[in-house]
Structure 1
Amino acid sequence: MAVLSWGTLGALGALSSNLPPYLVLTFCFGIAAALGLCLCWASQKSPESAGSRRIWMFAILIAAYHLVYLEAFHHAAPNPVSLINYLWPACLIILGNAFFDLKSGWAGYLGAAIGFAGVLILIGQDGFALKWSDILGYALAFVGAILWALYSNLRRGETGDSITAMTTICAIAALICGLWWVANGATWPDFQPLDPWVILALGLGPAGGAFFLWDLGMRHGHVALLGIMGYSAPVFSTVLMLLLGLGSAGWAVFVAIGLITLGGIVVQKGSRS
């Protein structure tokens, strides 16, 4: 469900492209925190204390990932930035095996490589050139991939209540993103009638509510397989854009689906053996 949600990010991002991205991110984390408060209220729980160093660490990591990723687009072309950022599932498996006792074995590495080949074919179908002048953007995109992989692996080891912790994490992340927006000029946009609804959809979905789903997946699911499934987000995004008439179908979509599926099968078969 989290990956499906991330598949809507391309379309929703296009609809919100007229708004300051750091302000949108602030709203999205705020909406996610409000969603968490509702879930806490429904389950008669209280959000975790904001005085915890651990909570602040997670909030800084998740906010830093999004800020770094957005900043990368200011310094390099979008296709290479997107592709480099999609190294995060491979980074999740590599870091997980090296430092977090993931134990995916050879299947994790091979599955990640096959899945990434699918993303490479899909994102690169329109062609792109790596340029030295864009090196800062590429570096930021790669840092973002490592940050998300590190955040995911660290959350995997948590034992407390997921909803109460994520509520506080999102609230602090909203504060961090808001401060970053202020530090970068804080221009208030001229909102159009559709804009609040797009922001609400982002906050409840790919840039907010999906964090709660991903957190549960990391803690209770097959992490290496979930990493490979993460490659499906650009496929879902492409299919959605096609359904909305924002592109044309091509062979790359079907090849990408096949390779990502094959990567998942390799991980699943390898873990069983």
Structure 2
Amino acid sequence: MGVAYSVGEVDHLKHRQPRLLIREKHPNHHLVVKKNKVHKLLSHPVNPTEKNWEIIRMKDSRRRMSLCSSEDSEAEEPEQPEEVDDALLVLSKHSLLLDAHDLEQLAAQMPARTWGYPWQLAYSTAIHGSSLKTLYRNMAELDNPVLLIVRDMHKKVFGAFSTDPFRVSKHFYGTGETFLFSFNPDFQAYRWSGENSYFVNGKYDTLQIGGGGDGFALWLDADLNHGASFSCPTFHNPPLSTQEDFIVQDLEVWTVQK
């Protein structure tokens, strides 16, 4: 599994220049730090004091990549537009459920207002135990979007992006930016259909996402041990889990830091 590195691991580079590229002498491993935001991920931690690393300016990196592209068709691809770089999803610590490729696919679906910010772990069954009550308590002071990831006992990974942190409410809440996703194993995203506004509803004993049909798109019980997933009008999604009723193996919730 790949690793998404902490912004803290590159803090010592943020204050050197506004646009720096730390580049290993290998075409596929690099990390861009611009305007105090991480723009690309590495396959392993950075130690820029080692001899196989060099620090160069962004403009020089583009020139080198251009030269490499003309000399070798297998060289590094030209840098993508900055809006794609900005969209990279960087976690504050390692995720048990998502690797670097998963994060790249998810980042492309995120609202632009979340781009460039690190994400912190708000809740994890591996750390906090299995309790919906604890999940709500950990989000009581939050006011930013959250990312829910579930892995069932069949190793299927799926979840939801919510524009609002999970909380107990009498009614559904959220906006049309809310979406579902699954890795099956290929990544699929399911966006708002516009048919209803049943985005998220938190009860003391259940968490419900999507609705309006025969069941919820994603439903979790009070112990976060059992769940269910059905097709629903809100997202026109198929069941996200391996089976409509599933057992939770691991669960994480991340929130964007601003």
Same fold judged by TM-score > 0.5?
A: no
| TM-score bracket for the superposition, by shorter chain length | under 0.3
Higher relative contact order (CA 8 A, sep 6+): 1
* TM-score, normalisation: structure 1: 0.22
* TM-score, normalisation: structure 2: 0.23
Question: Higher strand share goes to which structure?
Answer: 2
Question: Higher helix share goes to which structure?
Answer: 1
